[in-house]
Structure 1
Amino acid sequence: MRKLLRSLCFALPVMGLMEPASAWAQTKVLFEAMHAQTAGNADWVLDEDSCGTAQRYPTPAQSGITATTPETYWGGAYSSFGVALVKKGFSVESLPGGGRITYGDTSNAQDLKNYKVLILPEPNIRYTTAERTAIQAFVKNGGGVFLISDHGNSDRNNDGWDSPEILNELMTGVSWGLHFQVDGETDAWFNDNPDSKYTTDTTSPIVHAGAYGKATVGKGLGLFGSTSITLNPTANPNAKGHVWMTTGTVGSNSRVTFATSTDGTGRIAAIGDSSPSEDDTNGCGHTTHNGWNESLYDNALIHLNAVAWLGGAGGGGGTSDTTPPTAPSGLSASAVSSSQVNLSWTASTDNVGVASYNVYRSTDNASFSSVASVSGTSHSDTGRTASTTYYYRVTADDAANNESAVSNTASATTPAATSAARVILNEILVNEPGSDVTKEFVELVNVGGTSIDIGGWSIWDSTAKRHTFATGTVLGAGKAIVVYGATSGIPAGTPNAVGASTGALGLANSGDTVTVKNAGSTNVDSFVVSSTLAGTDGVSANRSPDASATGSFVLHTSVSTVGSSPGTRANGSAF
């Protein structure tokens, strides 16, 4: 079967800058603001009601914006960008700190499936593997992403990573054909104003045939501290340059300053500098450049043309694919507790590539409902009722939303919820990412069938007691709790996490012993983390099978595509 594609039909005659707002009605643009976009002097947000925090909906409400509304309507250095989009009829939101980047997660109100365009303004914190996977799936399935980098060595939060490196890492595993030059590479830091070497391709939706008009000869972009982009047409023949450095050659694969590409049915735009898209509406001690309103350059026009193209205007989109994947096979189901059924199946194949799998559940083996969309070939269905038989089927989706035929049906019956509580060590991260010891963690899971009070219980390493659980701490059946080296090390959105009561876990990268003791100082569980399991930066030791009292510890990358999964199951689903 083929799913109905959720797309918008755009009437796009030749338009000037006063395009009727109705042309983009209901087209939602999401500005990502949870990766240190306000670190240092940065202020790449639409609006901040409190310093360092961009709320989901900028205030005042965008419904009050008219043709004469000034950029100061909102308080971030991306206010001009956002206000201009609203004037064109787009709807804008921020993804604030504490938010989640997901694709196909119906529990997330800001899941990327709810948007058409995602703008990534100069991120200063790396995207997790799960976040990268979600963004890549968003593009493959028809979304548009705008990569806004800055010059090499622009690490505004001093964590060792700058935006060119972070955006290059975001493109790991996909063939977008784009590379931002990083510190130490040619043309990773330069000024160029005006930057106006335009493509000779008159169909360019960025500079010649854009929804909002044609860029003016000689104006171009005002680049003040930029990196350049290198194209790889071998990896992706749709990777195209639209503007080149003054010292570059039009049509070449290097010294590109504005580029586009496609993947599946989605689109990518990229620029090497944040100066053209920012304004000087800012506070909180930030200092920004008024690039958006510089009349000397076509900064605003080029960016608006790019968003319109990312949203579906003009040609040059992804490929047309009407062939569905093969049906998943070998589906099996196993009730691992009174509230959880684990599923696994054999991967499908597709002429382009499988993007995700849909899990369907039934209690009568007749009427099935969709309960999850996952990228891998396994799923943990939690929150089930004890003593109940559940039936499952799985289908595969490709990037064009073609859905396969259904798999075989598998069933499992959950046991009665009478088993005693049993707390185990399930995941241990000894070798924290970035040498930040506050991010070391120990995850406990109650694999039993009843809740248990773990107040007064403690966690030890090989030398000392490192944490004591607060009085009244209850760990529910099938639930997890995570103890980090310090509260400051807990990533935003990590469920049921606490900082070590002593201020450190003290785990040694050369190997260590982690022990859980109850309030009577009796050992509940203990594990010796070998140097083999502790030797990879950012990769934890995890039970295999996950959350199994009899499972052995292995590298997390052996059970998942990510390096760790604190507070969630190895496949990213909730406990």
Structure 2
Amino acid sequence: MAVKCAGWRPMARSGICSISTQPVDEPSGRVDAVRARWCRFPGMTHLRSFGSRSLVLLLLLVGVGPCAVGQVRVLFDAAHRENAGNADWVIDADSWDLDQEHYPCGQWENESRAQRHPTPAPASILPDDPETTWTGALSAFGIDLVKLGYDVESLPPGGVLSYQDATNPQDLAGYDVLVLPEPNRPLDAEEITAVRAFVQDGGGLLLIADHQTSDRDCDGFDAPHIGNDLMGVVISGGAITDAGLFGIVFNVEEISGLSDADYWFDDGVDDNVSGDPDDPLIHGPHGDGSGGLGLFGATSMTLDRQANSTARGHVWKTDTPEQGDRRVTAASAWYGAGRIVCIGDSSPADDGTGDLGDNLYDGWDKASGGVNNREIHLNAVAFLADAAPDTVPPAAVDDLRARPLDADRVRLEWTAPGDDGTSGRAYRYDIRRAATPIRTAADFAAAVPLDDEPAPADAGAAEAWDVTGLDPETSYWFALVTEDDFLNRSPLSNTSGATTGRAGSGGPVADHLLLSEVQTRGAASHDDEFIEIYNPTDSPVDLSSWSVQYKSAGGTTYLRFDLPATASISADGYYLVARPEYTGSVPADAVQSVFLMSAGGGHVFLVDRQQTLAGCSGGSIIDKLGWGSADCPETAAAPAHGAGASIERRPGAANAACGNGQDSDDNSADFALREPSEPQNTGDTEAPCGPAGPGSVGPSLFVGLEQVDALEWAAAVAADTYKMRRSSRADFMQTHPVPDDTWLLLQVADTRADDPERPDPGTAYFYFVNAVDLEGNESQD
């Protein structure tokens, strides 16, 4: 058999090389591919292609032993008092003769003495061997790694962490991953330098801490402080003045503004994990980590992406739903060619076995609550051993659309890109606005960054976000850039503009009855509920054959209340349906005891017949409202609301003289919170105050970037289409005002169009664009 060297890759940290062989066509026929890794001795410069027997003979003659094919070597540190007190963070110990002080201070006992090679040897471990085959609270961790094909060793007490030291038989150059499981004895300056160099050259470091003051051997040092020193963190005057090499800081009491909730807490089922489907710790090769970690006596971490742009969280405390840079319980970062994973507690790795003199607990794969301690730790080792830097940016968003909702809000809509191109989930959006189109990187840099952007959804999902607090009758242009967790930035999105409506004008007004205000609980009683109906039309409506129906947020059962035979609603009037427990300021027009509504989420349907609905859409549904966690709202759900508050259709409190008639078929856009609630009944009438026709595009008409005959403008409130007019005369709209179509060039639904008649070179043309609503009404400017 002959093999051909496809190439060898020198490992920067150790002189180890990886050789891949591939099939070679020989006269005797095609041979199989072989992949192997060898440990190269000093002075060895290259390998030549030989027959397979010759190659093995060469390796044996020069004394270079082949490592197991594809095998990763993991070193568990046991030289820095990982055995102190009730800790026994070793994979195997055959003796317990280290007389050490432990907490409570002044007491001494014999602790485990881990040896370099576990016994029995890793090579003899069988698939069914239990964790107790070795003795140590991390024996399950070690044995599971061996069963997955890793090689494991311990650095025994008295050992030294070194890098590129040929005199040290356990020099880090011979390993791929170093595990520091809650060290209680500080690393000295040379060891710190060695570990940092090991990582920088491509090694992996799993650093496990514990809670503040977890000083198990009474020497004045605990794992969070030792870890911070190793990472180069500096805390001075109550502040983090240097977040170190990795941008990860274990929270300790010297940092002002923190409490036990940051550095000494239990979080028994910490399942607040990253939603990124490509997260290497949560969705790695060794199992699903979605159940998170079981934390008991833990510290959390603070990330500083200015110090290290690759710092990222994988798990956060359950009280931190925003998943930002604080209260992180599992984090990672790159440094040079290598990487680090930090976990804020040793409990998840504890398998409950080991030194019989210690109080150990069932973590690892025995913890309750469905946590995935085992999978996250094993995935962490896989990530540390064989990761590649992410250099692929998210794809550019090319369908950004700005849509004005009313006088101070614009809705942005787009399709989510991925973490890598169009796959996965990105890390964050950088969304900005300007008074003119944002077409270039320079335009984007000069634009105003917006706050509180939404977190990206999975690639391909529809995104929608409302920009609020804008000025009336003002044109705004928007664009965005997407970042992944390595701060790879996407190309600039397309730009899209919108012109807000007139102050107090609200959005489009409906031509049918509407659900106008809903309260699901009163200030004093959860059953104090009402449903208000509004008639924005100029004709009364007989309600005697109508019904109001309710469905829970995610349910499929519809509960129906039939309106009384005498029910009717006047033009511009209201009708109030309430529970018997209702305590509002005006009396109810009808009382129902058929259903109770949930404040967290639900649906109300206004139906023009008295038949129970079979689904959440259909011609008999005149209007529907979903709030909170509702699964079938109009476009998007209105907000959930608290006791004594309500959700009210706009313009509502924003213009008390107007009826609640805005209807854009989007519950989130049409409803706002009102506190306290203000029910109205048949004794009240208010005319709607919607816009008289569509809004204006404003002074937002621009020549396109690509070609002079491409035009774009900002969207107008309630616009369905746009008319483009053109003339060689500047005053042509004064002599032929709207709706005159003498100079009409085209009518389009988009906010961008090309002049189909290609203007003659050297000729000046003037353009006018105005909005047209569904009824054919045109804006005048």
Equivalent of 1:182, from 252, 267, 274? 252
1:4: how far off?
A: 2.8
Distance 1:281 1:142, change over 3 A: same
1:293: how far off?
A: 2.1
Residue type matched to 1:180 in 2? F
Indicate conservation of the 8 Å contact 2:288/2:372, yes or no: no
Indicate conservation of the 8 Å contact 1:10/1:312, yes or no: no
Indicate conservation of the 8 Å contact 1:33/1:97, yes or no: yes
1:205-216 alignment runs, 5 A limit: 205-208=280-283, 210-216=284-290
Counterpart in the other structure of 1:193:
268
1:199: how far off?
A: 1.5
Indicate conservation of the 8 Å contact 1:117/1:145, yes or no: yes
Q: Following the alignment from structure 1 to structure 2, what is the Cα–Cα distance between the partners of residues 159 and 316? A: 41
Query: What stretches of structure 1 of length at least 5 have no aligned partner?
Result: 12-21, 319-575
Residue type matched to 1:45 in 2? V
| Deviation readout 1:361-400 (Å, 9 max, x if unpaired) | xxxxxxxxxxxxxxxxxxxxxxxxxxxxxxxxxxxxxxxx
Counterpart in the other structure of 1:415:
none
1:194-233 alignment runs, 5 A limit: 194-208=269-283, 210-216=284-290, 219-233=291-305
Counterpart in the other structure of 1:154:
214
Q: Following the alignment from structure 2 to structure 1, what is the Cα–Cα distance between the partners of residues 297 and 144? A: 24
> Does the alignment pair 1:82 with 2:127?
no
Residue type matched to 2:202 in 1? G
Q: Following the alignment from structure 2 to structure 1, what is the Cα–Cα distance between the partners of residues 292 and 355? A: 28
Residue type matched to 2:339 in 1? R
Residue type matched to 2:371 in 1? Y
1:131-530 alignment runs, 5 A limit: 131-172=191-232, 174-183=244-253, 185-186=258-259, 187-208=262-283, 210-216=284-290, 219-294=291-366, 296-313=370-387, 316=390
| Deviation readout 1:189-236 (Å, 9 max, x if unpaired) | 00002101111322210113x1123323xx211111100011010000
Query: What stretches of structure 2 of length at least 5 have no aligned partner?
Result: 1-7, 22-66, 97-111, 234-243, 393-781
Counterpart in the other structure of 1:111:
171
Larger Rg belongs to: 2
Indicate conservation of the 8 Å contact 1:25/1:91, yes or no: no
Residue type matched to 2:263 in 1? A
Counterpart in the other structure of 2:182:
122
Q: TM-score, length-normalised on structure 2? A: 0.37
Residue type matched to 2:185 in 1? I
Distance 1:74 1:224, change over 3 A: same
1:313: how far off?
A: 4.2
Indicate conservation of the 8 Å contact 1:211/1:314, yes or no: no
Counterpart in the other structure of 1:70:
130
Q: Following the alignment from structure 1 to structure 2, what is the Cα–Cα distance between the partners of residues 69 and 317? A: 41
Counterpart in the other structure of 1:31:
76
Residue type matched to 1:280 in 2? G
Distance 1:254 1:49, change over 3 A: same
Q: Following the alignment from structure 2 to structure 1, what is the Cα–Cα distance between the partners of residues 73 and 20? A: 14
Residue type matched to 2:92 in 1? D
The structure with higher relative contact order (CA 8 Å, sep 6+) is: 1
Residue type matched to 1:282 in 2? G
Residue type matched to 2:218 in 1? N
* DSSP-derived class of the 1:161 partner: coil
* DSSP-derived class of the 1:53 partner: strand
1:154: how far off?
A: 0.6
1:7: how far off?
A: 5.6
1:315: how far off?
A: 5.1
* DSSP-derived class of the 2:365 partner: coil
Q: Following the alignment from structure 2 to structure 1, what is the Cα–Cα distance between the partners of residues 289 and 167? A: 42
Q: Following the alignment from structure 1 to structure 2, what is the Cα–Cα distance between the partners of residues 124 and 285? A: 18
* DSSP-derived class of the 2:197 partner: helix
Counterpart in the other structure of 1:479:
none
* DSSP-derived class of the 1:297 partner: coil
Of stretches 262-271 and 167-176 in structure 1, the one that deviates more from structure 2 is 167-176
Counterpart in the other structure of 1:98:
158
Q: Following the alignment from structure 1 to structure 2, what is the Cα–Cα distance between the partners of residues 178 and 9? A: 35
Indicate conservation of the 8 Å contact 2:88/2:354, yes or no: yes
Residue type matched to 1:238 in 2? T
Q: Following the alignment from structure 1 to structure 2, what is the Cα–Cα distance between the partners of residues 246 and 170? A: 28
1:249: how far off?
A: 3.2
* DSSP-derived class of the 1:302 partner: helix
Indicate conservation of the 8 Å contact 2:9/2:17, yes or no: no
> Does the alignment pair 1:43 with 2:49?
no
Distance 1:95 1:317, change over 3 A: farther
Residue type matched to 1:190 in 2? F
1:23: how far off?
A: 9.7
Indicate conservation of the 8 Å contact 1:276/1:292, yes or no: yes
Indicate conservation of the 8 Å contact 2:316/2:328, yes or no: yes
| Amino-acid identity (%) | 47
1:282: how far off?
A: 1.2
| Deviation readout 1:10-47 (Å, 9 max, x if unpaired) | 99xxxxxxxxxx99743100000011111111100011
Indicate conservation of the 8 Å contact 1:31/1:92, yes or no: yes
Indicate conservation of the 8 Å contact 1:267/1:317, yes or no: no
- Size of the aligned set, in residue pairs, is 304
| Deviation readout 1:530-549 (Å, 9 max, x if unpaired) | xxxxxxxxxxxxxxxxxxxx
Q: Following the alignment from structure 2 to structure 1, what is the Cα–Cα distance between the partners of residues 119 and 133? A: 8
* DSSP-derived class of the 1:50 partner: strand
Q: Following the alignment from structure 1 to structure 2, what is the Cα–Cα distance between the partners of residues 242 and 285? A: 34
Q: Following the alignment from structure 2 to structure 1, what is the Cα–Cα distance between the partners of residues 209 and 245? A: 18
Q: Following the alignment from structure 1 to structure 2, what is the Cα–Cα distance between the partners of residues 263 and 89? A: 26
| Deviation readout 1:397-450 (Å, 9 max, x if unpaired) | xxxxxxxxxxxxxxxxxxxxxxxxxxxxxxxxxxxxxxxxxxxxxxxxxxxxxx
Distance 1:282 1:241, change over 3 A: same
Residue type matched to 2:93 in 1? E
| Deviation readout 1:458-513 (Å, 9 max, x if unpaired) | xxxxxxxxxxxxxxxxxxxxxxxxxxxxxxxxxxxxxxxxxxxxxxxxxxxxxxxx
* DSSP-derived class of the 2:113 partner: coil
Counterpart in the other structure of 2:52:
none
1:108: how far off?
A: 0.5
* DSSP-derived class of the 2:363 partner: coil
Indicate conservation of the 8 Å contact 1:198/1:250, yes or no: no
Indicate conservation of the 8 Å contact 2:9/2:19, yes or no: no
1:250: how far off?
A: 3.7
1:99: how far off?
A: 1.0
Q: Following the alignment from structure 1 to structure 2, what is the Cα–Cα distance between the partners of residues 286 and 231? A: 34
